[in-house]
Amino acid sequence: MTRNRLFNGFLAKLGPGLLYAGAAVGVSHLVQSTQAGSMFGFDLVIAIVIIHLIKYPFFEFGPRYTAATGKNILHGYYKLGAWAVWIYLLMILSTMFIIQAAVTVVTAGLFTHIFGFEELGGHEPQVVDMMISGLILLIGLTLLASGRYTVLDKLMKIIILILSVTTVAAVAVLMFDNPGHYASGTLHFDITDAVHLLFLATFLGWMPAPVELSIWHSIWSESKNETEGRTAGLKDALFDFRVGFIGTAFLAICFLAIGALVMYGSGVEFKPGGAAFAEQLLDMYRQALGDWAYPIVAIAALTTMLSTTLVLLDAFPRTIGMSLELLAPQQFQHRKNKSIYIFWLLITIAGTLLLLFFLTPSMREMVKVATVIAFVAAPVLAALNTLAMFDKSVPELYRPGKIMLIWCILGLVALAGCSIGYLILM
């Protein structure tokens, strides 16, 4: 009885942190981490650890700011000046279509393979991915416009738990029953190789997630506070965040390990098409755990990616509306006028569909572009989060200390240096 109470109490403390995990465990984990393992074995495990350490403060500041002020961190941007909100708004408007398209096309690949729709496009698998992407966005529009996404939101704890347990189990089995591919691998990451460095940029761009996820996390925390009628304390807010943050870091290493243990040194590469990639990914679990695990992992992976797609589809119009409300409160009343949200939701879907249908990119190229954009943009949003969190309008009790400030400065220097280095390599 006591154990059940402890477990239930633990789950009760989790909320926005699991939404963070549900949004983060997507392309960066299922696609990028497994690909990193298949290419370089375990070489990039240290890169996962380092990027999490670098980005940690900037992600923490989202829920920390809400715990300190009761408001989401966009209000902190506005206190710095309208220019800060404009920077965020312009960055979102310039990147949201490519980001939404990248996540949607990966989800479409899983959907296509799991339900056997590969033959619909004949010899043009990209056509199928685009058709299914359109269907997914239509479903997303229906769920978000009607408010029924909350059903999937409530299932997030179960979804993440299933995917986590099966992934850890797959790694454990592979460790004891290594197919031998890792031992035969000869390619290692070379920091002097420009091609390897460019891959590293795409790998780390969404690891663990784009920095703007910290803003969405802050908004989810604010919403939870409004629902419960109280502002969560700093201790509870940080506990919730850290469970999600550390959990996603661990899962990223697990996905990399699966790619390394199954594909590294095998001579087989991941295919660029969404459905073909999904088939290879799910076959890894089949090899590790057996046929019985396939439907469980397939459902968990698809639902995770679908949730990520819907989180993005909801976050873009919601944060755009909130930004406009801060900049022009008389003209834009986002929370009182749902039509503003629907308008930007339709714009997001229309822009994503135009990008998918007219550029017809492969899943690999789409993900590459989106992750590189996130990589280059990261220091800008990280700097805004830092300025907002250390602003004098935040109660001193909630402001981070000198150690965290030094941590932020070092992280900003690292992110800016990497972004400049990438631009030079390009």
Residue 255 included in any domain:
yes
Q: What pLDDT is recorded for position 114?
A: 84
Q: What pLDDT is recorded for position 53?
A: 95
Residue 11 included in any domain:
no
User: Alpha-carbon Rg of the chain, whole angstroms?
Assistant: 21
Contact partners, residue 45, CB within 8 Å, separation at least 6:
253, 256
What's the CATH number where 71 sits? 1.10.4160.10
Q: What pLDDT is recorded for position 6?
A: 44
Residue 139 included in any domain:
yes
What is the rounded distance in angstroms from the CA atom of residue 209 to the CA atom of residue 52? 10
Q: What pLDDT is recorded for position 222?
A: 85
Q: Would you put residue 334 in left (φ > 0), alpha (ψ -120 to 50) or beta?
A: alpha
Residue 2 included in any domain:
no
Q: Token pair for residue 313?
A: 């589809």
Q: What pLDDT is recorded for position 8?
A: 47
CB atoms under 10 Å from CB of 126, counted, come to 18
Q: What pLDDT is recorded for position 58?
A: 96
Q: What pLDDT is recorded for position 24?
A: 80
What is the rounded distance in angstroms from the CA atom of residue 134 to the CA atom of residue 361? 15
Residue 414 included in any domain:
yes
Q: Which of 216-247 are b and which e, b meaning 16 or more Cβ less than 10 Å from the residue's Cβ?
A: bbbbbbbbbbeeeeebbeeeebbbbbebbbeb
Query: Could you identify the residue written with the tokens 């001193």?
Result: 396
Query: Which tens digit of pLDDT belongs to each residue from 207-254?
Result: 888 898 899 889 888 877 777 777 778 888 889 899 889 989 999 999
Residue 99 included in any domain:
yes
Containing domain of residue 195, as a range?
24-425
Residue 8 included in any domain:
no
Q: Token pair for residue 420?
A: 């400049």
Asked whether the beta carbons of 171 and 254 are under 8 A apart, the reply is yes
Q: What pLDDT is recorded for position 215?
A: 92
Number of domains, the chain: 1
Q: What pLDDT is recorded for position 426?
A: 65
Q: What pLDDT is recorded for position 126?
A: 65
Residue 34 included in any domain:
yes
Query: Could you identify the residue written with the tokens 């033959």?
Result: 119
What is the rounded distance in angstroms from the CA atom of residue 408 to the CA atom of residue 414? 10
Ranges under pLDDT 70 in the chain: 1-15, 118-126, 147-157, 178-185, 272-275, 332-337, 359-364, 366, 426
* Residue type at 49 in one-letter notation: V
What is the rounded distance in angstroms from the CA atom of residue 88 to the CA atom of residue 93? 9
Closest CA to 201 of 378, 355, 24, 60: 378
CB atoms under 10 Å from CB of 70, counted, come to 15
